[in-house]
């Protein structure tokens, strides 16, 4: 009992002896002891780490959400100012009203050249998928070969250096000349423009494989297939996925420009058709739709790259 009283005396700060009222019951004594203990913990900083952790969590949330919100608000404000200065630019409110109408029925069909924005986006995505898929099927194996064999690197290096900077639209007439149709010509433009990032990034990844790995393979007398599947592919995968991410952005950029020239069903043609009708709100809606689809494609590939990237490469 004396030990308990000693601990209690150490816990509760010494107070001047005050005569206790006769009406002070045990519950009031407990409340006073708890309050004294809370004051002591605050004074000694016992609860400070928990409070700092909560403050840090709130700070992280604010840093993650506040800058994008402020950026969007700044863009909308600037847009509103431009709309007030120029009669040809619709305001954000007018564009939002039109967007609600457009997306309330995105898959309507009133003829071959009068379809909803949903069908146009799907048509563009189909072309991108075909052109991008063919570019990946050719570019990734070619990148492995160029990175693996110095002779092939020297042979294809000048060709890639000359053709890579060529504008996407410069390839479109070649596609129209060869394929005699607009749809395959657009797919050809996507293919030829999205193949270069995959070739270059895959080749660079192969060339950056540590030489020690290749020396071990040589000592173990591994076949070229074993070297490819057991050493090169796991090491090159992060670089290869970076090339794929860059290529999908290029492909989505090319298809909009190509469809403006070739016509038909597609988001690029939809933008051009709305321009011919002087429907500027629909053009702005299409710009945001193109941006959102591109963002979704890129973020999906970023998530895929993170899932297959080793920790040492991430760091």
Closest residue by Cα to residue 228 from 135, 152, 145, 313: 145
pLDDT of residue 191: 94
Distance, CA of 59 to CA of 136 (rounded, Å): 42
In sign, the C-alpha dihedral spanning 181, 187, 189, 195 is negative
**What is the average pLDDT value for the chain, to the nearest integer?**
82
pLDDT of residue 134: 94
Residue 22 pLDDT more than 60?
no
Confidence bin at 278 (pLDDT 50/70/90): confident
The beta-strand segments (E) located in 57-133 are none
221 phi-psi bin (left φ>0, alpha ψ -120 to 50, beta other)? left
pLDDT tens digits, one per residue of 146-194: 988 889 999 999 999 999 888 888 999 999 999 988 889 999 999 999 9
Residues of the chain with pLDDT > 90, as a percent, come to 31
pLDDT of residue 133: 93
Helix H or strand E encompassing 280: helix 280-307
pLDDT tens digits, one per residue of 52-80: 556 677 788 888 888 889 999 999 999 99
13 vs 196, more confident? 196
Confidence bin at 44 (pLDDT 50/70/90): low
34 vs 116, more confident? 116
pLDDT of residue 4: 40
pLDDT tens digits, one per residue of 213-258: 888 888 888 888 888 888 888 888 888 888 988 899 889 988 888 8
- Are the beta carbons of 201 and 243 closer than 8 angstroms? yes
99 vs 22, more confident? 99
Burial of 194 (0-12, 13-18, 19+ CB in 10 A): buried
Residue 138 pLDDT more than 90?
yes
Among 24-38, 136-150, 185-199, 215-229, the least confident range: 24-38
pLDDT of residue 146: 92
Residue 136 pLDDT more than 90?
yes
Output the pTM of the full model: 0.72
The CATH fold assigned to 102-314 is MetI-like fold (1.10.3720)
Confidence bin at 314 (pLDDT 50/70/90): very low
Q: What is the CA radius of gyration of the chain?
A: 33
Beta-carbon contacts of 172 under 8 Å, excluding residues fewer than 6 positions away, are: 185, 186, 188, 189, 258, 261, 262
């Amino acid at each position: 009992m004396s030990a308990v009283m000693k601990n209690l005396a150490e816990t509760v700060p010494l107070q001047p002896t005050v005569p206790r009222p006769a009406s002070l019951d045990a519950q009031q004594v407990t409340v006073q002891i708890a309050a004294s203990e809370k004051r002591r913990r605050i004074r000694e900083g016992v609860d400070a780490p928990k409070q700092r952790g909560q403050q840090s969590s709130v700070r992280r949330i604010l840093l993650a959400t506040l800058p994008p919100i402020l950026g969007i608000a700044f863009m909308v404000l600037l847009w509103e100012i431009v709309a007030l200065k120029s009669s040809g630019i619709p305001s954000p409110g007018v564009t939002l009203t039109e967007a609600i109408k457009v997306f309330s029925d995105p898959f309507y069909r009133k003829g071959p050249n009068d379809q909803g924005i949903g069908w146009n986006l799907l048509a563009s995505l189909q072309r991108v998928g075909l052109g991008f898929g063919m570019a990946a099927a050719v570019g990734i194996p070619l990148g492995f070969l160029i990175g693996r064999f110095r002779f092939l690197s020297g042979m294809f290096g000048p060709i890639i250096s000359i053709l890579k900077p060529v504008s996407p639209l410069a390839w479109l007439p070649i596609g129209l000349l060869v394929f005699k149709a607009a749809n395959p010509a657009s797919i050809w433009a996507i293919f030829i423009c999205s193949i270069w990032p995959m070739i270059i990034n895959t080749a660079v990844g192969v060339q950056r494989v540590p030489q020690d790995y290749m020396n071990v393979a040589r000592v173990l007398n591994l076949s070229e297939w074993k070297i490819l599947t057991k050493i090169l592919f796991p090491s090159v995968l992060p670089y290869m996925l970076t090339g794929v991410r860059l290529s999908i952005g290029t492909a989505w950029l090319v298809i909009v420009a190509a469809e403006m020239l070739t016509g038909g069903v597609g988001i690029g043609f939809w933008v051009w058709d709305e321009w011919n009708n002087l429907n500027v709100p629909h053009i702005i809606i299409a710009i945001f739709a193109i941006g959102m689809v591109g963002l979704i494609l890129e973020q999906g590939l970023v998530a895929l790259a993170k899932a297959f990237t080793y920790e040492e490469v991430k760091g």
